[in-house]
Amino acid sequence: MATVALTKPAKPKRGGKWSPWLFALPALVVYVAFLVYPALSSLWFSLTDWDGLSATYNFVGLDNYVKLPSDPVVATAVRNNVIWTVVTIAFPTAIGLALAVALNGKVHGKPVLRLIFYTPAVLPLVSIASIWGWLYNPQYGAINSFLRLIGLDGLAQPWLGQDSTALWAVMVPAIWLRTGFPMLLYLAALQGIPKELYEAATVDGATRWQQFWQVTMPSLRPAHYIVLALSLIDSFKVFDMIYAMTYGGPGTATQVMGTWMYANVFQYYQAGYGTAIAVVITLVAIAVGIPYVRSQTREAS
């Protein structure tokens, strides 16, 4: 009877202590070139009086940062950022949750309705700004034309052309396009809630409203945190929607930190001051994002 010699499998050769770094090198190069280097460059330029064009500039230290609190436009921009953040978080979150609850029930045409409600979230912002800019047109826009048609001529006004309505008018399309994202997250979270919880609550005599507050809302806590954290970061660094619709005007009525940063760098040629504003925006976004990253890391571990 033939015997078979048993041999241990050969151990894979190790590439040395530098092997993991060599494997990650391409990603590190891209990360350093397109994130770390621009960030450090912006931090340096924020400490200078560079105009964005000249080959020479002077180091001014923290002068640009000291100037921020005394800038009246910064005060307006911060106020508008706060208003924008509160409104564009509260309304899309509430509407998205309501839509998710409705679509999680017995509704005909669920796939079509989900597509309709989520479509604004994937549309190009330039297209959205153009559509709503046409709707707000004081002479030929659909909104004022409809108001005149039903005899409410007094309500027809230049929505984007006056201080009292410009910011609120821009927030309407922002709410419209931001509702789809929380709706999708809440819908996924709702489908993950065990039905046994609702059955037990029904046996205990809980009403639909009580089930919503005692079962649904606590179960949606992780989704709440994700929606609020990401929406808060996105709201504070808003730029594209406002710039595409009003350029920060009329006057400074719709200026936010992002548009004021852009104006200083590319219109007033105060790149040092503009990058200082950009650094402040980045620091606030990081401060808001750290708790979210920590919570996700804690859950993953």
pLDDT at 245 over 60: yes
How many domains, in total, are found in the chain?
1
- Residue 301's pLDDT is 56
Q: Does 190 reside within a domain?
A: yes
Q: Does 2 reside within a domain?
A: no
- Residue 199's pLDDT is 87
The rounded distance, in Å, linking the Cα atoms of 32 and 18 is: 19
The rounded distance, in Å, linking the Cα atoms of 245 and 193 is: 41
Instruction: Quickly tell me which residue has 């730029």 as its tokens.
Output: 239
- Residue 49's pLDDT is 93
Average pLDDT over residues 172-190: 92
**Nearest of 264, 284, 288, 278 to residue 43 by alpha carbon:** 278
Q: Does 31 reside within a domain?
A: no
Q: Does 170 reside within a domain?
A: yes
The rounded distance, in Å, linking the Cα atoms of 69 and 77 is: 11
Average pLDDT over residues 37-44: 91
CA-based R_g, the chain, Å:
26
Interval 221-232: pLDDT, tens? 888 888 888 888
Q: Does 193 reside within a domain?
A: yes
The rounded distance, in Å, linking the Cα atoms of 292 and 103 is: 28
CA atoms within 13 A on the CB side of 51: 7
- Residue 4's pLDDT is 52
pLDDT at 140 over 90: no
Mean pLDDT, the chain, integer: 87
Q: Does 74 reside within a domain?
A: yes
Angle between helices 257-266 and 72-104 (to 10 degrees): 130
Average pLDDT over residues 146-156: 89
Q: Does 17 reside within a domain?
A: no
3-state DSSP assignment of residue 268: coil
Q: Does 28 reside within a domain?
A: no
What domain range includes position 196? 46-300
Q: What is the CATH number of the domain that holds 105?
A: 1.10.3720.10
Interval 262-275: pLDDT, tens? 999 999 999 999 99
- Return the DSSP state at 53: S
Dump the DSSP string for 156-182.
---TTTSHHHHHHHHHHHHHHHHSHHH
